[in-house]
Amino acid sequence: MREEDDIQSLRYGIDALRLLNGRESISTADLVAALGISRGAAYRVVNTLHALGYVARASERRGSRYRLSVRVRRLSDGFDGDRWLLHVAQPLMLEFTREHGWPLTLSTPAGDRFFVRYTTDHATQRVLRRYRAGFYRSVLLAGSGLLCLAHQQEPVLSSTIRELQRAHDPSVPVIRDPDVPTADDEPALRALLARIREQGYARYGEAGDRETTLSIPLHLSGHFVGTLAIRVMNVAAKHEPSLRGHLQLLRDIGARIEAGLAAAAAAAPTTPTVAATVAAAGARRAPGG
């Protein structure tokens, strides 16, 4: 391939990433219309970005759409937001679990899903099921996901709800919290998201499960960057005072993590761009569990 062709291909790839950064997801047809390229060129662009890990398929169905993956965060001034967040949160989370016994989970937003970055399940016996980091889940199937959805801004929120509506298949049984509406009931879902934003936490419990999850948002410079969740057995959260006690413990450790993030941001050489980088990563579609 000629040198000028290589440069033009790079331009198309960068333009595609810029387009995705302003939208919930795109299709190859969107690329054709926005960039004025052929359908074959659009396929090569998204397939290359997908192979490199910078975009993920929003659906495996025919006519797939694509969204940004978390890997694009590593393109910003050499700053890996996820690794930075993990570096601050991991030791504090382990300290908490060893002291109190309850497992904690750190997650980051990923469009219509969220991604579990770290869990302390391995450090405690107070678990009914052990989870590992590295999986995605629908935002409607966990408190952390609901928090991620609640912190999306318009028009991204409306776009995500439409994606959830398209993906919803009533014929496929899904174990879920009966108090969480499906995306098809958009008014009820939006009302729930408004309550979550107002109260500053989400509570989630799957039907028939013996565990309750409480999730809170994590912020850096006022920007939402992820969630911190605690799972407690229902017998330990049966009464409201006990539930409030666990929520306060969670908020205390969350505040320590946020303080650590703020201190790291203040010490980083890229301080002027760190908060903006993390904010953009948290608002974008990436990957989610």
* CATH code: domain of residue 36: 1.10.10.10
Domain contains 76: no
pLDDT tens figures, 42-85? 888 888 888 777 787 775 455 678 887 756 655 544 444 566 78
> Do 221 and 106 belong to one domain?
yes
How confident is the model over 98-118, as pLDDT tens digits? Answer: 999 999 999 998 888 898 999
| Domain closes at, from 34, 68, 102 | 68
Do 143 and 63 belong together in one domain? no
Range of the domain at 204: 81-283
DSSP one-letter code for 209: -
232 vs 92, 190, 195, 201, CA distance in Å? 18, 27, 22, 15
Q: Do 187 and 279 belong together in one domain?
A: yes
CATH code, 176: 3.30.450.40
Decide if 288 is inside a domain: no
- H helices of the chain, in order, are 3-21, 28-35, 39-52, 81-100, 143-150, 156-167, 186-199, 240-267, 271-283
How many independent structural domains does the chain possess? 2
Of 12, 44, 68, the one marking the end of a domain is 68
In this prediction, residue 240 carries a pLDDT of: 78
Q: Is 75 inside any structural domain? A: no
Round to whole Å and give the CA distance between 225 and 280. 9
The whole-number average pLDDT for the span 189-212 is 91
Inside any domain, residue 231:
yes
Q: Based on the domain organization, do 93 and 159 belong to the same domain?
A: yes
169 and 271 share one domain:
yes
What would the mean pLDDT of 160-178 be, rounded to a whole number?
Answer: 83
- Give the integer Cα–Cα distance in Å for 198 and 179: 17
Whether residues 160 and 120 share a domain: the answer is yes
Question: Do 120 and 238 lie in a common domain?
Answer: yes
In terms of domains, do 188 and 244 share one? yes
Residue 238 has pLDDT above 70, yes or no: no
Q: Tell me, yes or no, whether 126 and 206 share the same domain.
A: yes
**Rounded CA gap, 170 and 176, in Å?**
13
Give exposure, 140-178, as e/b (b: 16+ Cβ within 10 Å).
Answer: bbbbbbbbbbbbbeeebbebbbebbeeeeeeeeeeebbe
Assess whether pLDDT exceeds 70 at residue 281.
no
9 contacts: CB under 8 Å, gap ≥ 6: 1, 44, 45
Domain limit, last residue, from 15, 34, 68: 68
